[in-house]
Chains A and B, each alone.
Chain A
Amino acid sequence: MNFELSDEQRMLQETLSRLLREQYPFETRQKLLQSPQGFSRELWHRYAELGILGVPFSDEVGGFGGGGIELMLVAKALGRALTLEPYLATVVLGGTVLATVDSQRARSLLEEVIAGQTLLAFAHWEPGERYNGAILSTHAQARDGGHVLSGHKAVVLHGQDADRLIVSAMTREGVATEGIALFLVDPRSPGVTVRGYTTIDGLRAAEIQLESAPAELLAAPEQAAQAIDRAIGYGLVALCAEAVGAMEVICELTLEYLKTRQQFGVPIGKFQALQHRMVDMVIRLEQSRSITLLAAAHVDDTGIDRDRALSAAKALIGKSGRFVAESAIQLHGGIGMTWEYSMPHYAKRVVMIDHVLGDVDFHLDRFSSLMEVSAA
């Protein structure tokens, strides 16, 4: 057991952190947020040059050869800068699906992703089923030697930016084996309607309607299940780490505020009620770091311990993130409610992370169903 980062890991973390410190001050972020695109293409290419877009993928496909820990380091740095780029959608979710699917098509598309040439979105969840991706209405039919898909995909992260959509759909015997398969869909195809919008935390998402939209089979059910599972696993690690990065900044800003804001003739950090709440925020952050590390260390394993670690992490992050975000706003008072100040934007992101890939209740429930109960 060893908690030290390797030189390579430290370098990865430092390179990305330096880039973001220099290129991603809060003011820049806010301008990007208001821009039509909503994020920086230019920075996306810088990520590609630095190899950040290939971090969780093996050397053979042109990746960095990293695993969960490396992904954690990247996502934490992105969280600290409150970045807007579609890293989760394109690299973590879409890219991991491609990396898991063993085909020439998937490999060449993944190379484009790593090079920063192609953006992806993972269109999996549907209205009315919340975080449960096991029940789908979207279905695939064979047509003209290919497939067409029909259905509605809900809150698809960066759905309007994607060059390719990875869409899950039910197949029947004759199309593939029965079950959930994965398809590639060109969003410009006839039969695809993309209704894009912004999310409250400053990102972009879309509702995607498919009406007999042409689709290319990417993975038949058995392999698709594995790819979805891996992608969600990596997605959970990335979200937890992003939340940790954002919580770090929230704690730093709040502590700074407690030391500078004067009321009753003293810095408000002299008041014990506020001190103790701040301490509890820092304790929650420490627990969040720990559980994220646990999830990152287990995400490349298989079996129940991996699933337990992932759900434990997302549940703890959801609960702790809410506490940290709410406390920070409360300790700041009015300024914590304003658009112009950075902290509230971090707070929004941390709270909304609970709404992606399953919230506290969803993951506590899943953890609970996986809980070991030894005989008395």
Chain B
Amino acid sequence: MDIHYDEKELAFREEVRQFIREKLPPELAAKVKSGKRLTKEDFLCWQNILSERGWLAQHWPKEYGGPGWGPVQRHIYEEEAAAAGAPWIIPFGVGMVGPVIIKFGTKAQKEKYLPRILRNEDWWCQGYSEPGAGSDLASLKTRAERHGDHYIVNGQKTWTTYAHYADMMFCLVRTDPKAKPQEGISFLLIDMKSPGVTVRPLLLLDGEHEVNEVFLENVKVPFENLVGEENKGWTCAKYLLGFERTGIAGVGQAKEWLRQLKAIAAREKNNGKPLIEDPSFRARVAAVEVELMALEMTNLRVVADAEKGGAPGPESSMLKILGSELRQEITDLMRRAVGPYALPFFPEYFDTDQPIDVGPEYAPPLAAQYFNHRKVSIYGGSNEIQRNIIAKMILGL
């Protein structure tokens, strides 16, 4: 057992670092580091750079275009990318539907979709949640009925992240309303340009347009867009959920935010001294750092273990809980670090270069980020659902 990086890993880290230094546009890194909102073009800019290098599909097997990385390499990439201010990789295509198509898709589906994902030609979104089906996902009501050589889909999806950018949606639909909830669901790929698809924005509490409602009215979907067997969509969904949670510990991002938190607290003053020297504030920062050091090891241990057994299992639920709570704690400390200057809110800060003439320059995004990150303990299966999964799947309760 040796938890130090070996020479190959150190060389890999250097390679990643150098690649990012050369290729990441400084203005994009500056946007990420100052908490600005990224546009579709911003995300695609970085993903195209990664694609060109063959580093986009980090979880895919090599024969499908993955880089052949193990958990340690992925961890190193994540850490270096976050430290440099690279945008996160939008997971819906490469991280979610990609692995499902690789596992359950037909030859034709693989040939059609996988190269397009690798080249960032399709932006995917995830059609899972519905107004009446959140944590109880299996109660979803969107219907798909056979009609000639296609399905007719009717229903409504919600909380659909970046549906307004998406070309394609992978979607859970009910194909057998008489079966038990989990047994009548199918996994469909829907072209967002199909007639009958309507996307409506849902603004989040920080004013950001990130998620949407998606209305499906008599949308025609060809049979060839069914992934896996009809009524076996829940199997795909569960498989995907494991993948959804692997990067979810967010260790690289948490480390970068912790650095930012310390930097802010070093510049803020309390009783005439830097806030970071205030014993009670400093102790809270220290407690977060201790937890993060442990999480980094837990993440590597769980992911390395999962690697041996193929797809990540219910252990990833643990990473989701720990990673989300920790990042929430850091955003909380960042908000508190700027004191009263957490209050002023300038919506234009997030989408423009317009300088803000109020408060320290690092303050404007902090409270919004805090509120925005309440989502991380809700999405991808709320932390309470994750605890249910652990109780059932790991503990056998």
Where the two chains meet, the residues of A that have a C-beta atom closer than 8 Å to any C-beta of B are 1-6, 9, 69, 255, 258-259, 269-270, 272, 275-276, 278-280, 282-283, 286-291, 293-294, 297, 309, 312, 315-316, 364-365, 367-368, 371-376
If A1-B5, A275-B397, A309-B293 touch, does A287 touch B266 (CB 8 Å cutoff)? no
Q: Please, which residues of chain A bring their CB within 8 A of the CB of B37?
A: none
Contact, CB under 8 Å: B321 / A269: no
Q: Please, which residues of chain B bring their CB within 8 A of the CB of A255?
A: 395-397
Contact, CB under 8 Å: B290 / A316: yes
If A297-B2, A376-B264, A376-B266 touch, does A278 touch B321 (CB 8 Å cutoff)? no
Contact, CB under 8 Å: B6 / A1: yes
Number of A-B residue pairs having CB atoms within 8 Å of each other in the complex: 135
Contact, CB under 8 Å: B72 / A1: yes
Q: A282-B395, A286-B318, A316-B291 are in contact. List 7 more A-B contacts (CB 8 A).
A: A3-B304, A269-B397, A272-B391, A286-B298, A367-B290, A373-B263, A376-B266
Q: Does B322 contact A (CB under 8 A)?
A: yes
Q: Please, which residues of chain B bring their CB within 8 A of the CB of A291?
A: 290, 293-294, 297
Q: Please, which residues of chain A bring their CB within 8 A of the CB of B6?
A: 1-2
If A4-B1, A286-B318, A294-B297 touch, does A259 touch B286 (CB 8 Å cutoff)? no
Most B CB contacts (10 A, CB to CB) among A5, A255, A287, A372 go to A287
If A1-B9, A270-B397, A279-B391 touch, does A287 touch B1 (CB 8 Å cutoff)? no
Smallest CB separation, A273 vs chain B (Å): 11
If A291-B293, A368-B282 touch, does A275 touch B2 (CB 8 Å cutoff)? no
Q: Which of B2, B264, B266, B388 contacts A1 (CB 8 A)?
A: B2
Where the two chains meet, the residues of B that have a C-beta atom closer than 8 Å to any C-beta of A are 1-6, 9, 72, 259, 262-267, 276, 279, 282-283, 285-287, 289-291, 293-298, 300-301, 304-305, 318, 321-322, 362, 384, 387-388, 390-391, 394-397
Q: Please, which residues of chain B bring their CB within 8 A of the CB of A315?
A: 287, 290
* Dominant secondary structure at the B interface: helix
Residue in chain B with minimal CB distance to A297: B3
Residue in chain B with minimal CB distance to A301: B4
Q: List 30 A-B contacts (CB under 8 A).
A: A1-B72, A2-B3, A3-B1, A269-B395, A272-B388, A275-B395, A278-B395, A279-B387, A280-B387, A286-B318, A289-B298, A289-B301, A290-B294, A290-B296, A291-B290, A291-B293, A294-B3, A294-B294, A297-B3, A297-B4, A315-B290, A316-B294, A368-B285, A371-B262, A371-B286, A372-B262, A373-B263, A375-B263, A375-B266, A376-B267
Q: How far is the CA of A179 from the CA of B205 in the complex (A)?
A: 61
Smallest CB separation, A342 vs chain B (Å): 20
Q: Please, which residues of chain A bring their CB within 8 A of the CB of B264?
A: 376
Q: How far is the CA of A294 from the CA of B291 in the complex (A)?
A: 12
Residue in chain B with minimal CB distance to A308: B293
Q: How far is the CA of A280 from the CA of B2 in the complex (A)?
A: 28
Contact, CB under 8 Å: B391 / A364: no
Q: Please, which residues of chain A bring their CB within 8 A of the CB of B265?
A: 373
Q: Which of B276, B279, B305 contacts A373 (CB 8 A)?
A: B276
Q: How far is the CA of A290 from the CA of B390 in the complex (A)?
A: 18
Contact, CB under 8 Å: A2 / B1: yes
Residue in chain A with minimal CB distance to B75: A1
Most A CB contacts (10 A, CB to CB) among B3, B264, B321, B396 go to B3
Residue in chain A with minimal CB distance to B3: A297
Contact, CB under 8 Å: B300 / A1: yes
Q: How far is the CA of A293 from the CA of B4 in the complex (A)?
A: 11
Contact, CB under 8 Å: A368 / B266: no
Q: How far is the CA of A315 from the CA of B290 in the complex (A)?
A: 8
Report the 5 A-B pairs with minimum CB-CB distance, sorted nearest first: A290-B297, A376-B263, A275-B391, A368-B286, A291-B294
If A259-B396, A275-B391, A276-B387 touch, does A293 touch B297 (CB 8 Å cutoff)? yes
Contact, CB under 8 Å: B266 / A9: no
Q: How far is the CA of A69 from the CA of B4 in the complex (A)?
A: 13
Q: How far is the CA of A293 from the CA of B1 in the complex (A)?
A: 10
If A1-B9, A376-B264 touch, does A287 touch B295 (CB 8 Å cutoff)? yes
Q: How far is the CA of A330 from the CA of B343 in the complex (A)?
A: 41
Q: Please, which residues of chain B bring their CB within 8 A of the CB of A2?
A: 1-3, 6
Contact, CB under 8 Å: A69 / B263: no
Q: Please, which residues of chain B bring their CB within 8 A of the CB of A278?
A: 391, 395, 397
Contact, CB under 8 Å: A365 / B291: no
Q: How far is the CA of A368 from the CA of B276 in the complex (A)?
A: 10
Q: Please, which residues of chain B bring their CB within 8 A of the CB of A368?
A: 279, 282-283, 285-286
Contact, CB under 8 Å: A290 / B298: yes
Contact, CB under 8 Å: A294 / B293: yes
Q: How far is the CA of A3 from the CA of B3 in the complex (A)?
A: 7
Smallest CB separation, A257 vs chain B (Å): 11
If A291-B293, A316-B290, A371-B286 touch, does A1 touch B397 (CB 8 Å cutoff)? no
Q: Which of B266, B283, B294, B397 contacts A364 (CB 8 A)?
A: B283
Most A CB contacts (10 A, CB to CB) among B1, B9, B279, B396 go to B1
Q: How far is the CA of A102 from the CA of B152 in the complex (A)?
A: 83
Q: Please, which residues of chain A bring their CB within 8 A of the CB of B1?
A: 2-6, 9, 69, 293, 297
Contact, CB under 8 Å: B397 / A259: yes
Q: How far is the CA of A375 from the CA of B263 in the complex (A)?
A: 6
Q: Please, which residues of chain B bring their CB within 8 A of the CB of A280?
A: 387
Q: How far is the CA of A278 from the CA of B259 in the complex (A)?
A: 33
Contact, CB under 8 Å: A367 / B289: yes
Q: How far is the CA of A373 from the CA of B282 in the complex (A)?
A: 10
Q: Please, which residues of chain A bring their CB within 8 A of the CB of B5?
A: 1
Q: How far is the CA of A297 from the CA of B293 in the complex (A)?
A: 13
Contact, CB under 8 Å: B391 / A276: yes
Contact, CB under 8 Å: B286 / A364: yes
Q: Please, which residues of chain B bring their CB within 8 A of the CB of A289?
A: 298, 301
